[in-house]
Amino acid sequence: MTKVGRWIGQHLILFLGLLVLLYLFAPIFVVILMSFNAPKSKLSYTFDGFTWQNWQHPCRPFGLCDAVGTSLQIGLASTVIATALGTLMAFAMVRQRFRGRSATNLFIFLPMASPEIVLGSSLLALFVSSGFGGRLGFWTILIAHVMFCLSFVVVTVKARLSGMDSRLEQAAMDLYANEWQTFWRITFPLVFPGIMAAALLSFSLSFDDFIITNLNAGTTVTFPMFVWGSAQRDLPPQINVVGTAMFLLALFLVLGGELARRRRSARAR
Amino acid sequence: MSALGQLPGPVTGAPPAGEPARKGRSLTGYLLLAPGALWLLLFFVVPIVSLLAASLYDPNGSIESGFSMTWSFHNYVDALADYARPFARSLWYSLLTTAFCLLLGYPLAYAIAFKAGRWKNFMLALVIAPFFTSFLIRTLSWKLLLSDNGFVVDFLKTVHILGSDGRLLATTAAVVTGLTYNFLPFMILPLYASLEKIDARLIEAGGDLFAGPFTTFRTVTLPLSMPGVVAGTLLTFIPAAGDYINAQLLGTPKQRMIGNDIQRLFAAGAYPTAAALSVTLMAAIVVLVLFYVRRAGTEELV
């Protein structure tokens, strides 16, 4: 016991860190468990029995899969637009000298530092006052999502760009590559992981957003709005199936990337 | 996270000799910026102006009859008179949330940066992974975890932290637990980014100079990680102040935050009052943040 005690003493920080990690994962375990729940009543807030049914028929609750589909469409579209615009901005911020750079920096940071309820309500105020109040839906959601993803993309790509060794590009130039070749052969491949991370981040931000979307969605229902609506009524266990699937997909992507990186570095050695 | 991007990397510094000359660079810069900046101008700046305008509309208007601009500054007085309590509650809850996030986030960020060894990236991935399950679903799970016959309540009763008639769900504790949970990654990531940059030899040097672990932490590690602390507290405090999901799902109307009221008023079509509350929230946050950043003294934050 004292041996264990000493070991814990030495690794106290790591131990505390793992406890916090457990806190981060506690609800995930519940989501996974509840995805196999066979609820006795309509309100599925307790685990009543094990079943595979929810995984076999994820689309059974009316409107669930439509909502997921809408969220996927909006997520993909806003990711493509935000990543493209944000990457260009990040290149301008890191690689170009121009007047008003620090003001631009602040300007890009501001949406990230505004509470979602303010962003959502201000967009609603704009749409209503410009006569779009009756036409809220796919397009207004898309506009809002691109807006709040943009800042995150710029910050992520910028971090990657400014951490890059510019001597590699100079070397390419010294070897008589022109600017275009240098960009596509050297710069872009080096920045690409940052762009991918930014795209992944904006997709998850868009797919998950509720507060801003709810104010600007009109009658369009995204996945988080479906969850919110059913939380007031019956909460079908299939919601947890979608949640678990998303978690597994993320784990697969993130851990897969990490494994690939390890294998590469092992081979390089 | 945000502090990370600002560091003058080798590329942003003054171009060393031999740096390839770029022709017409300033124009290229503006061209690259233009599309994104235009989007932000149209859908971030203009909306804020619209919100300001809406907060001064005639409060007697409705969606059907339209709103007329009457410069009713009185909207602010009325809104604040009616909603002072949820307002104060929001700021108090997000202050508590920020404190708990710092308390929980620091050990984990420290462990990842200095103790995880080859598991560093793996642990970082584990911090981000729960993010991908919809946060609404995770918040609903807390409803289960904190429920009256759940094992958390049972455990707290067994160790007599909670009285035998005690409960967690529908209390302030539940709302702050949920808020802390939801915004913890926003604290951990910037903390990790600034801890990771600290040269471990500085911490060793602290030990060599006969400082105990606590003194080393207080005089070396903590001051060097301040940019991360500032960025993390801002990224936690600001969104938490506007959140209404946790208060709605884990609390009762007694715990409602200003976001709940803003959302409800907008849904009911009471735009002028809702807009006035929204503007006031933004203004309160800006004032608090400016005050805090000045005190913390990290100017190159963004």
Q: What is the pLDDT of residue B60?
A: 79
Q: A255–B12: do the CB atoms touch at under 8 Å?
A: no
A221-249 pLDDT per residue, tens: 999 999 999 888 878 889 999 999 999 98
B249 and B140 in contact (C-beta within 8 Å)? yes
Q: A243–B125: do the CB atoms touch at under 8 Å?
A: no
Question: In sequence order, what are the residues at sequence separation of 6 or more whose Cβ sits closer than 8 angstroms to the Cβ of residue B296?
Answer: B226, B229, B230
Q: Which of A169-173, A188-192, B176-180 has the highest mean pLDDT?
A: B176-180
Three-state SS at A1: coil
B197-224 pLDDT per residue, tens: 888 888 878 777 877 777 888 888 888 8
Q: How far is CA B161 from the centre of its chain?
A: 29
Q: What is the pLDDT of residue B51?
A: 94
Which parts of chain A fold into alpha helices (H)? Answer: 2-10, 12-34, 53-56, 64-95, 101-109, 116-129, 138-162, 167-174, 179-182, 188-208, 211-216, 223-231, 238-268
Residue of B33, B69, B101, B238 best to disrupt the A interface, most CBs of A under 10 A? B33
**A194 or A259, greater pLDDT:** A194
Query: For the residues A18-37, what does the mean pLDDT come to?
Result: 92
Query: For the residues B271-280, what does the mean pLDDT come to?
Result: 94
Min Cα–Cα distance to chain A from B228, Å: 15
Query: For the residues B73-80, what does the mean pLDDT come to?
Result: 89
Min Cα–Cα distance to chain A from B163, Å: 23
Q: What is the pLDDT of residue B15?
A: 44
A144: amino acid identity, one letter: A
User: Which region among A23-27, A196-200, B125-129, B189-193 has the lowest average model confidence (pLDDT)?
Assistant: B125-129
Q: How many CB atoms lie within 10 A of CB B276?
A: 30
Q: What is the pLDDT of residue B246?
A: 94
Query: For the residues B168-189, what does the mean pLDDT come to?
Result: 92
pLDDT band at B12 (very low <50, low <70, confident <90, very high): very low
Pick from A164, A215, A255: CB nearest B266: A215
Pick from B35, B48, B289: CB nearest A122: B48
* pLDDT value at B14 more than 60: no
* pLDDT value at B4 more than 70: no
Residue from B246, B283, B54 nearest A121 by CA = B54
Which parts of chain B fold into alpha helices (H)? Answer: 2-6, 25-40, 46-54, 74-110, 120-128, 135-145, 151-158, 172-196, 200-208, 213-216, 222-224, 226-242, 245-250, 258-267, 271-296
* pLDDT value at A137 more than 60: yes
pLDDT band at A10 (very low <50, low <70, confident <90, very high): low
Min Cα–Cα distance to chain B from A21, Å: 7
Q: Does B172 touch chain A (CB under 8 A)?
A: no
Which residue has 């909460």 as its token pair?
A: A235
**B184 or A8, greater pLDDT:** B184
Three-state SS at B66: strand
A44 and A54 in contact (C-beta within 8 Å)? no
pLDDT band at A22 (very low <50, low <70, confident <90, very high): very high
Pick from A26, A163, A254: CB nearest B129: A254
- Round to whole Å and give the CA distance between B105 and B180: 10
Q: Tokens for B278? A: 């929204």
Q: Which of A143-157, A250-264, B142-156 has the highest mean pLDDT?
A: A143-157
B67 and B275 in contact (C-beta within 8 Å)? no
- Per DSSP, the residues of A98-135 read -TTHHHHHHHHHGGGGS-HHHHHHHHHHHHHHTT-GGG
Three-state SS at B62: strand
pLDDT band at A129 (very low <50, low <70, confident <90, very high): confident
* pLDDT value at B166 more than 80: no
Q: B137–A249: do the CB atoms touch at under 8 Å?
A: no
Q: What is the mean pLDDT of chain B?
A: 84
pLDDT band at A269 (very low <50, low <70, confident <90, very high): low
pLDDT more than 90, % of chain B: 45
- Round to whole Å and give the CA distance between A178 and A186: 11
The Cβ-side half-sphere exposure at B67, using a 13 Å CA radius, reads: 28
A52-107 pLDDT per residue, tens: 888 988 888 888 999 999 999 999 999 999 999 999 999 999 888 888 888 888 88
Question: In sequence order, what are the residues at sequence separation of 6 or more whose Cβ sits closer than 8 angstroms to the Cβ of residue A193?
Answer: A160
Q: How many CB atoms lie within 10 A of CB B293?
A: 15
* pLDDT value at A9 more than 80: no
Three-state SS at B211: coil
* pLDDT value at B302 more than 70: no
- Round to whole Å and give the CA distance between A266 and B29: 40
The CA-atom distances, in angstroms, between B120 and each of A251, B108, B111, B127 are 16, 11, 9, 11
B274 and B262 in contact (C-beta within 8 Å)? yes
Question: In sequence order, what are the residues at sequence separation of 6 or more whose Cβ sits closer than 8 angstroms to the Cβ of residue B187?
Answer: B98, B101, B102, B104, B105, B109, B232, B233, B235, B236
Query: Does pTM surpass 0.95?
Result: no
Q: Which of A53-62, A160-169, B220-229, B270-279 has the highest mean pLDDT?
A: B270-279
Q: What is the pLDDT of residue A88?
A: 95
Min Cα–Cα distance to chain B from A223, Å: 9
The CA-atom distances, in angstroms, between B136 and each of B63, B74, B113, B148, B252 are 30, 36, 30, 20, 17
- Round to whole Å and give the CA distance between B280 and B153: 38
**ipTM for this model:** 0.87
Pick from A125, A166, A243: CB nearest B47: A125
pLDDT band at A159 (very low <50, low <70, confident <90, very high): confident
* pLDDT value at B1 more than 60: no
Min Cα–Cα distance to chain A from B224, Å: 18
Query: For the residues B147-171, what does the mean pLDDT come to?
Result: 78
Q: Does B1 touch chain A (CB under 8 A)?
A: yes
Q: B271–A162: do the CB atoms touch at under 8 Å?
A: no
The strand pairing partners of A37, in sequence order, are A50
Q: Which chain A residue lies closest to B281 (C-alpha atoms)?
A: A118
Enumerate the residues of chain A whose CB falls inside 8 A of the CB of residue B151: none
* pLDDT value at B21 more than 50: no
Q: How many CB atoms lie within 10 A of CB A261?
A: 12
Residue from B249, B247, B248 nearest B140 by CA = B249
Q: Which chain A residue lies closest to B114 (C-alpha atoms)?
A: A14
CB pairs under 8 A between A and B: 300
Q: A24–B282: do the CB atoms touch at under 8 Å?
A: no
* pLDDT value at B119 more than 50: yes
Question: In sequence order, what are the residues at sequence separation of 6 or more whose Cβ sits closer than 8 angstroms to the Cβ of residue B47?
Answer: A119, A122, A123, A125, A126
Min Cα–Cα distance to chain A from B181, Å: 7
Q: Does B126 touch chain A (CB under 8 A)?
A: yes
Enumerate the residues of chain A whose CB falls inside 8 A of the CB of residue B133: 27-28, 31, 243-244, 246-247, 250
Q: Tokens for A205? A: 């931000």
pLDDT band at B298 (very low <50, low <70, confident <90, very high): low
- Round to whole Å and give the CA distance between A63 and A222: 10
Residue from B7, B187, B160 nearest B98 by CA = B187
Question: In sequence order, what are the residues at sequence separation of 6 or more whose Cβ sits closer than 8 angstroms to the Cβ of residue A209?
Answer: A116, A145, A148, A222, A224
**B115 or B96, greater pLDDT:** B96
Q: What is the pLDDT of residue A195?
A: 94
User: Which region among A77-81, A163-167, B13-17 has the lowest average model confidence (pLDDT)?
Assistant: B13-17
Enumerate the residues of chain B whose CB falls inside 8 A of the CB of residue A259: none
Q: How far is CA B39 from the centre of its chain?
A: 24
B186 and B236 in contact (C-beta within 8 Å)? yes
Q: Which chain B residue lies closest to A86 (C-alpha atoms)?
A: B36
Q: Tokens for B284? A: 């309160």
